[in-house]
A and B are shown apart, each in its own frame.
Chain A
């Protein structure tokens, strides 16, 4: 197993955000975690990126606990790259600088060049806007940059926090197709989404998170057909 979460508990003060969740992501998979606002989706990803303290449980990467790894090394040494909620691109830097900063810890110049060219083939718009300040990009372009930037780190797994948020339906579809392509190229993908239908269409397996607990799991098609999921997350 590439990434495993075991009995994970995370609290913010008195609020228990995660109350013992378990899930696994295998190399090469696309996995999605769906759930309503406040179910603990972002917290799960933040815990994996070591941005929030873990009360109990463990996070394993290739079988080894990563709880002692500092956030920047989760990215540069383990290769878990995080596309945060709200994109968080550096608006005062150019598109090119955003992409270059993501390679800060990388030494493999040849591969960096190849990765960059690959990103331009997935998101040609970014190449057109290369020397533009990232803050001047449209919402969709900013999301492309956020994904491309995460790709440019030494990623093996990409974890994405609501990549469809704020995107028009057509752009949303484009974004998921791009993620599918990135996955085919060899990057494992774990994404959390409120947009359950779209996420389940692209993922192989899914987990349903409800108030800090995983209540359902299974292959995507099974979840799409599940009457409870239909009722709660797919609009009946």
Chain B
């Protein structure tokens, strides 16, 4: 592998890692705060992509130059599409929590896990029923970006799009980290991760914090969905499955509830996958990537940044 090729792969890995990291954060936060694997999260990502599709189509019709009522620059449309998709997808997550998980708060954990898988199937089949099996093409949000002259760095082409995707992902992760460290809601989330049962004694409404946790995780999945669809602009009802499972692996690898862990593990997974595919035949990619992760977990069973403390569920 030449140096140029190597750095090219680093750039690709950062982009892949951004998707994994953003989705992994949703798994990790919900697992951290509520001790629950939200197995519907990959499909919330998928629904987010469809929401993004409609939001993007609508906003382009409203604001794009030449067709819109008010003309906005395309970067502003992109920002609006990301924000609106995050906002709408957060309601999908809150609905999943309210309808699917809250009634099962004290049920065996397996019931909640199965519920998550079922909600995922319901999302997939609903989208299939509504839009058919035909794949949909995600509209181009930044026309001209691909044909513009791309920045190169020592012969490595770093596309604007990749810079944008990695940049937006990093900004969102930093915002989340700030929120969880500095606001009272973030404080309540961390307290729940440590001792779930003691939190109501502080006058904190558990249900509202649970809903907020789902909303934040799903909003990030919505952002990931728009970014993913910009890079791979084909939507189908099953697009959340593989990427969702891999992000789940990243969340476990990062450690329960650790934002830093989920983000780093997402990027690490991106790197391992991309480099496994360049060194070995690409059919070996997942075999190698997940063998490596299995080995890491054998030595660090609580994940890279996980703590041994398990939250207490009863008083």
Contact = CB atoms under 8 A, between A and B. Distances in A.
Interface of A: 46, 49, 51, 70-73, 75-76, 81-82, 84-85, 88, 90-93, 97, 100-102, 104-106, 149-150, 153-154
19 contacts: A51-B197, A71-B201, A72-B204, A75-B201, A75-B202, A84-B315, A90-B190, A91-B309, A92-B190, A92-B191, A93-B187, A93-B191, A93-B194, A100-B184, A101-B184, A101-B202, A101-B204, A104-B188, A105-B203
Contacts of A92: 190-191, 193-194, 307, 309
Contact of B315 (A46, A75, A81): A46
Contacts of A101: 184, 187-188, 191, 202, 204
Nearest to A154: B203
A71 B206 CA distance: 10
A71 to B, nearest CB: 4
Contacts of A71: 200-201
A13 to B, nearest CB: 14
Interface in B180-221: 184, 187-188, 190-191, 193-195, 197-198, 200-206
Contacts of B312: 88
A46 B201 CA distance: 10
A100 B187 CA distance: 9
Interface of B: 184, 187-188, 190-191, 193-195, 197-198, 200-206, 307, 309, 312, 315
A72 B188 contact: no
B1 to A, nearest CB: 42
B315 A105 contact: no
Given A101-B184, A104-B184, A51 B315 contact: yes
B203 A97 contact: no
Given A88-B195, A92-B309, A153 B203 contact: yes
Contacts of A76: 203
B301 to A, nearest CB: 19
Interchain residue pairs A-B with the least CB separation, the first 7: A76-B203, A75-B203, A88-B198, A71-B200, A105-B203, A72-B200, A90-B191
Nearest to B198: A88
A91 B194 contact: yes
Contacts of B206: 72
A84 B184 contact: no
A84 B203 CA distance: 14
Interface centre among B190, B203, B312, B315 (most CB of A within 10 A): B203
Contact of A84 (B188, B190, B198, B307): B198
Contact of B204 (A49, A93, A105, A150): A105
Contact of B203 (A46, A72, A93): A72
Contacts of B202: 72, 75, 101-102, 104, 149, 153
A91 B193 CA distance: 10
A131 B75 CA distance: 42
B195 A104 contact: no
A70 B187 CA distance: 21
Given A72-B202, A75-B203, A106-B203, 14 more contacts: A51-B200, A71-B200, A72-B203, A72-B205, A76-B203, A88-B201, A91-B309, A92-B307, A92-B309, A100-B184, A101-B188, A104-B202, A150-B201, A154-B203
Contacts of B194: 90-93
Nearest to A153: B203
A51 B198 CA distance: 10
A186 to B, nearest CB: 19
Nearest to B201: A82
Interface centre among B188, B193, B200, B206 (most CB of A within 10 A): B200
A88 B315 contact: yes
Nearest to B181: A97
A102 B190 contact: no
A172 B206 CA distance: 33
B200 A75 contact: yes
A154 B203 CA distance: 9
